[in-house]
Chain A
Amino acid sequence: MEEIRIEDGRTVFCPSGDIVASMADAMRSRLRDVMHEHPGPLAIDLAQVELIDSVGIGLLIAAHNTLAKAGGRLILEHVHPDLCGLLRTMRLDKHFQIEVA
């Protein structure tokens, strides 16, 4: 289950585990509800995420695309170093805002 908090004017969505295919459908509908309820800046806190698979990447991109339509971009917080390496290698750091801390 995810925890939602509002911080510095942005909505922070915190998945409690990896963003992978088995979790993706449930997480997608939760995230969609959150984004409808709180339009505006959105961050996903990855403190408890060690693995993101292809479906997970698709979910992050979908959230980003919705934000981008309103001129925003997806913020990722507390990105694990390995994940950060992956996102950079895939050049996704050019689209998402990646915050180590």
Chain B
Amino acid sequence: MDQMDDEIMTMFVEDSCEHLENIETALMDLERGGADIDEELVNTVFRAAHSIKGGAGFLNLTNIRDLAHKLEGLLHMIRNREIVPDTRVINRLLAGFDRLRGLMASAADSDQEDIAAMLADLSGLTAEHLSPEQLAQAAATVPISLPDGEVVFREDELSLRQALTGGKNLYLVEYDLIHDVQARGKTPLDIINTMEASGLIVDCRMDLTSVGDIDAPPSNRIPFYVLFASLVEPDIVSYLFALNGKAIHPVDLAALPEAPAVASDPAEVLVFGPWRLTIAGQRASLTVEAGAVPDAAEARQALLACLERGLSVEVSWADAAGVDLALLQVMVSAGVSFAHRGLTFIHQGGAPEGLARLAERAGITPTILETLELPAATLFAPEGPHGQ
């Protein structure tokens, strides 16, 4: 580590310790207030975590950054009244900040420490306060595209909704760093400062390939896309950024296509004979190869894998070639097991040929399903391509 880095590190530790100085008192005051939160107090603690996170990111101190990030997330939820700062929550925060102070004492070696358990503990606390809907949103990816259909960003729905708390507007802004910034005597830092003063940069991206390489003539266009959340209304936003209205696209979250079953984590695909189980975040979908014989034992294994992981599942089996009694039994018992654990088990795209007839021959009717507290749609799927 050279001198310059050393100096920055010293400054960072001094600043951080200053931020951490009054945190304990602030947190205890927060606990006394309970659900009736003092926003200024929450903000003070939030800013401490936020600024430590930023500095640590800059210095590549992964442990400090990750811990500060988790604490910041919890405080964000308290500020939004999604978590009540009761004794249990405050104790976790106190422990977290205490650990942060410990890491700061030997900041340069802080990445040697094992803080995995603390991070997991804080993640758990955050997750238990998310509604099932929010958990699904966290796992759902929303594509955000230009009017011509080119997808510029893929964001998880929960972050988007959090960025829009308070009825803000969401815009996809297209800058050209040469014409919109350089030619107007501005620097990229100027536009970023303008935006941060009037909203939140949710994400941004540069189109690197359109710049060419060092042997190409200097590019006269450098596209820079910004996903921006702001209270500023659409009619004012183009003045604010001195941009042609055509370069600013309001994004209507409600009108976005249904989030596909893709999570921020790459999907995991497990193969059980003719069945493919795709797991992406909190979503699982089970499909059968078109025209294949849907083996019951293999289906059972796949569904058990979902149950083990606590995942709801969507089954697409309309294209299966023939269904036998064994598979019918597996599907009915899966319906019972999933419902029993509060998970959903639904069919997508209709029932396979002959299923309803087979079920009725076996004495399984919509009424029987009802007595098992299963929706009739568990087997007697709504009219699909092969609906009976």
- Which residue on B lies nearest to A93, using beta carbons? B57
Q: Can you list, as one digit per residue, whether each of B188-232 has a CB less than 8 Å from chain A (1) or not (0)?
A: 110010000000010111101101111110110010100000000
Q: Which residue of B lies closest to A28 (CB)?
A: B218
Q: For residue A68, give the distance in angstroms from its CB to the closest CB of chain B.
A: 8
Give the chain A neighbours of B187 by CB distance below 8 A. Answer: 51-54
CB-based contact A89/B204 at 8 Å? yes
How many interface contacts (CB-CB < 8 Å) are there between A and B? 93
A62:B192 contact, CB within 8 angstroms: no
Indicate with 1 or 0, residue by residue over A40-77, a CB within 8 angstroms of chain B CB atoms. Answer: 00000000000111110111011111100100000000
B59, B187, B222 — which one has the most chain A CB atoms within 10 A of its CB?
B187
One digit per residue, 1 when the CB lies within 8 angstroms of any chain A CB and 0 when it does not, for chain B 335-369 equals 00000000000000000000000000000000000
By the criterion of a CB under 8 Å from any partner CB, how many residues of chain A are at the interface?
36
Contact B204 A57 (CB under 8 A): no
Q: Check if A54 sits within 8 Å of B188, measured CB to CB.
A: yes
- The answer to whether A65 touches B214 (Cβ under 8 A) is yes
Given the complex of chains A and B, what is the CA–CA distance between A66 and B215 in angstroms? 8
Decide if B58 touches A81 in the complex (CB within 8 Å): yes
Cβ of A96 to closest chain B Cβ, rounded Å: 10
CA distance A55 to B185 in the complex (A): 11
Neighbouring A residues of B219 by C-beta, 8 Å = 58, 62
Contacts of A57 in B (CB 8 A): 177, 188, 222
Q: B214 and A55: CB pair below 8 A?
A: no
A85 to B55, CA, bound (A): 10
- Cβ of A1 within 8 Å of any chain B Cβ, yes or no, is no
Chain B, interface SS category? mixed
Bound together, the chains give a CA A66 to CA B181 distance in angstroms of 25
A69 to B214, CA, bound (A): 11
B222 / chain A contacts, CB cutoff of 8 Å = 54, 57-58, 61
- Quick check: B214 and A32 within 8 Å, CB to CB? yes
**Which residues of chain B (5-23) have a CB below 8 Å from chain A?**
5, 8
Contact: A89 with B201, CB < 8 Å?
yes
CA distance A76 to B157 in the complex (A): 34
Q: Give the chain B neighbours of A24 by CB distance below 8 A.
A: 218
Report the minimum CB–CB distance from B313 to chain A (whole Å): 34
Residues of A1-40 at the interface with B, using a CB-CB cut-off of 8 Å, are: 21, 24-25, 28, 31-32, 35
Complex contact B218–A55 (CB within 8 A): yes
Within 8 Å of chain A (Cβ to Cβ): is B119?
no
The answer to whether A62 and B58 touch across the interface, beta carbons within 8 angstroms, is no
Q: How far is the CA of A90 from the CA of B196 in the complex (A)?
A: 12
In the bound complex, residues from chain B placing their C-beta under 8 Å from that of A101 are 1-2, 4-5
**Quick one: which of B189, B201, B214 contacts A63, CB cutoff 8 A?**
B214
Judging by beta carbons under 8 Å apart, are A86 and B192 in contact? yes
Q: Complex formed: what's the CA distance from A52 to B187 in Å?
A: 8
B293 within 8 A of A: no
Question: A78 — which chain B residues lie within 8 A by C-beta?
Answer: 4
Binding site for B on A (CB under 8 A): 21, 24-25, 28, 31-32, 35, 51-55, 57-59, 61-66, 69, 78, 81-82, 84-86, 88-92, 95, 100-101
5 example contacts (A-B, Cβ-Cβ < 8 A) are as follows A55-B182, A61-B222, A81-B58, A90-B224, A101-B2
**8 tightest A-B CB contacts, nearest first:** A101-B5, A54-B177, A54-B182, A66-B213, A65-B213, A61-B211, A66-B214, A62-B214
